[in-house]
Chain A
Amino acid sequence: MNIKENIKTLIIKKPLKLDCGQTISNFPLAYETYGSLNNNKDNAILVFHALTGDQFVAGLNPITNKDGWWSFVVGPNKSIDTNKYFVICANVIGGCMGSFGPSYENPKTKKIYGTDFPVITINDMVNAQVNLLDHFGIKKLFSVTGGSMGGMQVLQFVSNFPDKTKTAVPIACTSSHSAQNIAFNELGRQAIAADHNWLDGKYTSKNTVPDKGLAVARMAAHITYLSKKSLQEKFGRKLQKRDNLKFGFDADFQIESYLRYQGSVFVDRFDANSYLYITRAMDYFDLVKQFDGNLSNAFKNTKAKFFIISFTSDWLYPTQENKDIVIALNAIGANVGFVEIESDKGHDSFLLDVPDFLKALKNFLDKSYTEQ
């Protein structure tokens, strides 16, 4: 697929020293924007995407022909109102929607990087994306926001660039990936590695894809994004287009069929090696350790106004982990608000039509914008 023609790309010339020790330069960062930058250049919001997201936040994604991943949130008159704000979102480095990642060709070897691509971190991702500010001539963003891994990038961004944003809204995230988080990611990575088409990451050169492994990784992860209650209500023990059990291993149950479908559509738009790299970046994320066990120190130089949002049924990044961020901010007298949104929809709540969430986000942004 020739995706390049629909993708805006910024070539970052400035060398970027990665946490792994390697330095990269002249690398592409794919991005998309929505709304328009005002004359004062003070209405920009940098949105960070989650594990399997991309730069196509809203409207129709030109690659998948589906709605952008945050269509409920971003758009005219929505929570992030594109009539008012200039929204920028970049594909993370390590990703597969046009930014520098494992599916790029290594200029030295003329081969696809695959697992020769350097291991990247959340820190590297935000250090790459901050270049977008210079590109647009923005001195200070109005806000940075994102859910899940996007929220982790929000925390890292504010910590790295304390003066570059007025507000910060990390949603459904954590300051440090837990053992359970790492465990689920490892399950996904092992599923990919177990696919005989993975070929140690060199599948592209052999014209094949480890789609079975990647689909299983997606299926397992998908379960962690939902709550037990929502699964039970939506599927229960309902059978898939049959009246009785078939005493075999077809998808008898609707939930099986649903997960298989989720897996199958995912492999069409996502690269298996990118999945390995991005989950690794999430696992390595530990802002607490980076600041010697005191998360408050990550934010001691910022005057940004924070608003932290969690969801009642999110068991992947539960309320307490979001609250730990609130506690760290309060310990240094930072300006921080917090709300836990009632929702049955699990971790995925931040992507869905959850009215209380949409309302809280809109009110926070709009009120903060008029006050600035």
Chain B
Amino acid sequence: MKSEYKIITDIIEANTRVLDVGCDDGTLMEFLKKNKNVDIRGIEISKEKVQTCISKGLTVIEGNAELDLKQFPNDSFDYVVLGQTLQAFINPEIVIKELLRVGKKAIVTIPNFGHWKVRINLLTKGTMPVTKTLPNDWYNTPNLHMCTIKDFVSFSKIIDFKIFKSLALINKNVSTINNSNLFFKNLFAELGIFLIEK
């Protein structure tokens, strides 16, 4: 089980309605169902992964978050989860707004482009960074809009949403991000996990 999933599960209250956007093979959905007894739905773009979810008895809709979130009414879920895919959308601003329209709260995780290894990689090699969390080359990466933890915090001010909880994942350890440690967390965290609200 990914540490990321455990952190997300800790944030989500039991017996709520949850939508997992880009639910992949349904691992997080199953975990949440078992541990928090949530009523959970998923959206997934890959047909193969939708099949895996069906074989696990999960309710999943094949679809694209950028086009298919529209069909859900306002506040239809208590939480909408978006795990490590914000950077892959054509328009992350619209996606964030849609998450917060459909869900009362959203949990967004981002692979941190501000991590020191990424920075060193670019500084020393002069090529686009390839790391464990960012394994693709520039020409075949699905990531269109990479951002850092700091970028995401600024983004909240630009498009006006509230960050209720900011967590950093550093070597499988979780810590809280605040204004005074932002510089360091942005340098050392592989992943940022944010609980946000309109």
Contacts and interface: CB of A to CB of B under 8 A. Distances in A.
17 contacts: A330-B72, A333-B17, A333-B73, A333-B76, A337-B61, A338-B61, A339-B47, A339-B54, A339-B60, A340-B47, A340-B62, A342-B47, A356-B51, A360-B51, A360-B54, A367-B55, A367-B57
Interface in B5-58: 17, 41, 47, 50-51, 54-58
Contacts of A231: none
Contacts of B129: none
Given A363-B54, A368-B57, A339 B72 contact: no
Nearest to A326: B61
Interface in A77-104: none
B55 A338 contact: no
A339 B59 contact: no
Given A326-B71, A330-B72, 11 more contacts: A330-B76, A331-B71, A335-B59, A337-B58, A338-B62, A339-B62, A359-B51, A360-B54, A367-B55, A367-B57, A368-B57
Interface residues of B, number: 19
A356 B54 CA distance: 11
Q: Which 4 A-B pairs have the closest CB atoms?
A: A367-B57, A327-B71, A363-B55, A338-B61
A337 B62 CA distance: 8
B92 interface: no
A136 B133 CA distance: 58
Given A330-B71, A330-B72, A337-B54, A356 B61 contact: no
A257 to B, nearest CB: 36
B51 A367 contact: no
Interface in A311-334: 326-327, 330-331, 333
A243 interface: no
A364 B56 CA distance: 9
Contacts of B59: 305, 335-337
Contacts of B73: 331, 333
A5 interface: no
A233 interface: no
Interface residues of A, number: 24
Interface string A229-253: 0000000000000000000000000
Nearest to B59: A337
Contacts of A339: 47, 50-51, 54, 60, 62
A356 B47 contact: yes
Interface string B93-133: 00000000000000000000000000000000000000000
A370 to B, nearest CB: 8
Interface in B51-87: 51, 54-63, 71-73, 76
Contacts of B17: 333
Nearest to A342: B47
Contacts of B62: 338-340
Contacts of A326: 61, 71
Nearest to B61: A338
Nearest to B58: A337
A371 interface: yes
A162 to B, nearest CB: 18
Contacts of A333: 17, 73, 76
Contact of B60 (A337, A368, A370): A337
Contacts of A363: 51, 54-55, 57
B70 to A, nearest CB: 8
Contacts of B61: 326, 330, 336-338
Nearest to A359: B51
B67 to A, nearest CB: 10
A368 B55 CA distance: 10
Nearest to A361: B54
Given A336-B61, A339-B47, A356-B47, A364 B54 contact: yes
A364 B53 CA distance: 10
A360 B53 CA distance: 10
A148 B100 CA distance: 37
Contacts of A331: 71-73
Contacts of B58: 337
A360 B54 CA distance: 7
Contacts of A327: 71
B120 to A, nearest CB: 43
A148 to B, nearest CB: 20
A222 to B, nearest CB: 28
**Residue among A331, A338, A364, A371 facing the most chain B CB atoms (10 A cut-off):** A338
B57 A371 contact: yes
**Residue among A305, A340, A371 facing the most chain B CB atoms (10 A cut-off):** A340
Contact of A367 (B41, B50, B56, B72): B56
Nearest to A371: B57
A292 B198 CA distance: 34
Contacts of A367: 54-57
A338 B59 CA distance: 8
Contact of A338 (B56, B57, B63, B72): B63
B41 to A, nearest CB: 8
